[in-house]
Structure 1
Amino acid sequence: MKGYKIKPALVIIDMQNCFLSPDGSFDKLGYDISKYRKILPTLRSTYEEAKSLKIPVFFSKAIRERSGIDMLDKVHQILPPKRLERIKRLPIAVRGTWDAEIIDMLKPAPDDLVVEKRRDSIFQDTEFEMWLKALKADTLVFTGVDTSICVESSLRDAFNRGYDVILLSDATASLSDELYRTTLLEVKENFGLVMKSGDFFKSLKRIRGNKFLLEVEC
C-alpha cells in the first residue's frame, strides 16, 4: 500500500449535447453515441461524490465560433481524413447553440468552473491553469470524452505541467475500444494512476481542508 497526500480537482471533459445527445452533432453524423452515453450514470455519481467532499469540479466545453475562424482547417494543411471530413460535413458545438451545452444530466452547479476550449487540451489558450493555481490543486482526476483525444491530450498536458494525474476508467469513454484501451495503458505505464471511480473515492481520506490521503495498492 502506498499513500499520496493530494489536493485533487475533478475534471469533466466535453460532456456536451453535440457528443452525447440524440439529435446532437455526433448523432447526426452517424457515430455510435451509446459508447459515450454508457458512462453517464457512473460519471453522475462521481460528480456527486466529489461535490459531497467539496472537491473542486471543472467542466470543459468544446466551442466553435459561428464564423468558423477557429476551425482546425484554418491553421492545418495536414489533417487526418476522417477529422477533416467531420469538419466539412457539420459544424459542431457552435457558440450559443444547444449543441454546445453540457448535457442536462451533468449541468454544472453555480460554484463549478466551466472552461471553454477550442482545441483538444483543456489547457490550450484557456484560463484553466490560472484557476488551478488559485485553488492550489496539485492532482487532476480526469473523466469524460473522448478518452483517446481530448481526455488524453488534457491529461498529458497536466502531467507535463507538473500536476499528478489520475484517470477514472469507468467514467471516460471512446468511440474506439482499441484506442480506449491504449490510452489506459499509456497512462498506467507513463503518466499516473488508472482507477475505477468507486475505488478512487474509497481510497480517499481527508486530512484537513482540501487535502486528502490517497492510499492505493503498489
Structure 2
Amino acid sequence: MKLSGYLLIFGAACRAAAQLVNPNNNTFGNVFNFWTRNGDAWDLTRRNATNAITLPLAHPAGHVTIQPASSALVIIDMQNFFLHPDLGGDPLGRALVPTAIDMIHAFRANGMKVFWTNWGLTESDLLSMPPAFFRGFSSDGTSATSFGSDMGTIQGNISVGRKLMRGSWNAQPFGDLFDEQVEGVANGTDFYFNKNRLSGMWGTSTPMQTFLEENMITTLFFGGVNIDQCVWGTLLDSYYKGYDVILVDDISATTSPAAATGMVDFNAALNGWRANSTDILPTLM
C-alpha cells in the first residue's frame, strides 16, 4: 500500500476515535489530551477517574475534577531574597507563608506532588544571561550589584551569599518554607528545581518540564511571588506547552501596583482557572 493509503486509514481512525471521545461536543482537545465539560464542571482526569477529586472554584468558575497522580502544586520564588525583612522582602509575600504551608500539607496528604522552582544560578548561567536581566536585578543601577554579586551579611553572622546563586542563603526558601522543602524532598513528596529566568518553564525544555513529562503530570496549581512576574511567567509558559493551569490567588502576591494583579487574574481565568485555598482546602483536608 502506498503511503497516501496509510495516511487515509490513519486519518479515518483518528476521526473515529475523536467521535468516541467527543460524542456531544463537550470534550475539548484531542484523543490524547482532553478535558470534558458538564455544565460549569470540568473534568481534567482524561478518563482516569481513580481517586479523582472534585474541587470547587471561586464563583462563577464552577468545579474542576482532577486526577491526583497527574496533579501538582508549584511554589515559585518564595525565597529569602524576595521575602526576608532584612533584605527588604515583601510583607505581603511573608503573610502568605502559613496558607502556602497548609496547601503543601493538603497536596501531600492526597498523594499530589509539590514542586519548588526558584532562582538558582550557576557560573554558566551568568555567562549567558542577557543584559536586560542584569539590569533588572541591579540594586544600584550598576552591574556590580546584579546577579552573582556578594550581598554581605545580615544580623551580624548570616552570610547572605552571592545574589540568587545556587546554594546561597538568599536563594533558599524563606522561613518555615525552607524546613518544608527540605523535609518534603527527603521524603520524596517534594521536588526542587532551580531556574535561570523568571519562568521555571522557559525554553525548549527545563528540568521541571522533563520531570512533568516523565511522570505524566498534566494539572498544575501555581502560587508564590511575584504573581505578575515569575508566577505569571511560569503559568503562562506552562499554558503554552499544554498543561492545565490553575492560579491559587491567596498564596500569590506581588510588590507591583494592583493593576498588575488584576491583569494576571483576568488572563489566568481565560487560560485556565483561578482558585482560593478557602474553597479547595476543605475538600483536600
TM-score with structure 1 setting the length: 0.79
For 1:99 and 1:204, how far apart are their aligned partners in 2?
32
The DSSP-based 3-state class of the residue aligned with 1:95 is: coil
1:95 aligned residue:
166
1:214 aligned residue:
none
Q: CA RMSD in A?
A: 2.5
Counterpart residue type for residue 42 of structure 2: G
For 2:282 and 2:213, how far apart are their aligned partners in 1?
26
**CA apart distance, 1:96:** 2.6
> Deviation string for 1:70-128 (max 9, x for gaps)?
574xx23x5797x2644733543123321111123113112211000010111135211
2:197 aligned residue:
119
Counterpart residue type for residue 118 of structure 1: N
Deviates more, 1:150-159 or 1:172-181: 172-181
Over the matched positions of the two proteins, sequence identity in percent amounts to 27
Deviates more, 1:175-184 or 1:149-158: 175-184
Of the three residues 68, 85, 96, the one matched with 1:22 is 85
Maintained 8 Å contact 2:78/2:174: yes
For 1:155 and 1:12, how far apart are their aligned partners in 2?
11
Of the three residues 241, 254, 262, the one matched with 1:181 is 262
> Deviation string for 1:154-193 (max 9, x for gaps)?
10111111111000000101112221221111111x2010
For 1:200 and 1:95, how far apart are their aligned partners in 2?
33
Of the three residues 207, 220, 232, the one matched with 1:152 is 232
Q: Give ranges in structure 2 of 5+ residues lacking alignment.
A: 1-39, 46-65, 150-162
| Residues 201 and 133 of structure 1, relative CA distance in 2, 3 Å threshold | farther
Of the three residues 88, 108, 115, the one matched with 1:58 is 115
- Say yes or no: does 1:3 pair with 2:42: yes
TM-score with structure 2 setting the length: 0.62
Counterpart residue type for residue 279 of structure 2: D
Maintained 8 Å contact 1:14/1:144: yes
Matched residues, number: 194
| Residues 3 and 191 of structure 1, relative CA distance in 2, 3 Å threshold | closer
Q: Give ranges in structure 1 of 5+ residues lacking alignment.
A: 206-218
The DSSP-based 3-state class of the residue aligned with 1:69 is: helix
4+ aligned runs moved over 4 Å, structure 1? 78-81, 202-205
Counterpart residue type for residue 17 of structure 1: N
